[in-house]
Structure 1
Amino acid sequence: MSEFEKDIVEMEGEDGAVLKLCVERYFYYNGDEYVLLSDDVEENNVEEVSHYVMKVVPDEEEEGMEDFVPVDDDLMDKLVDAAMTTFADEDEDEE
Structure 2
Amino acid sequence: MTIGKPFRLASQTQVNREGYIHLGSAASEQCYRVLVNDAGQILLDPIDNLPEREQWLWQNSTALSSVQQGIEQVAEGNQRSLGTFAQHADLDIED
TM-score, scaled relative to structure 1: 0.26
Structure ranking higher on relative contact order (CA contacts 8 Å, 6+ apart):
1
Q: Which structure: larger Rg?
A: 2
TM-score, scaled relative to structure 2: 0.26
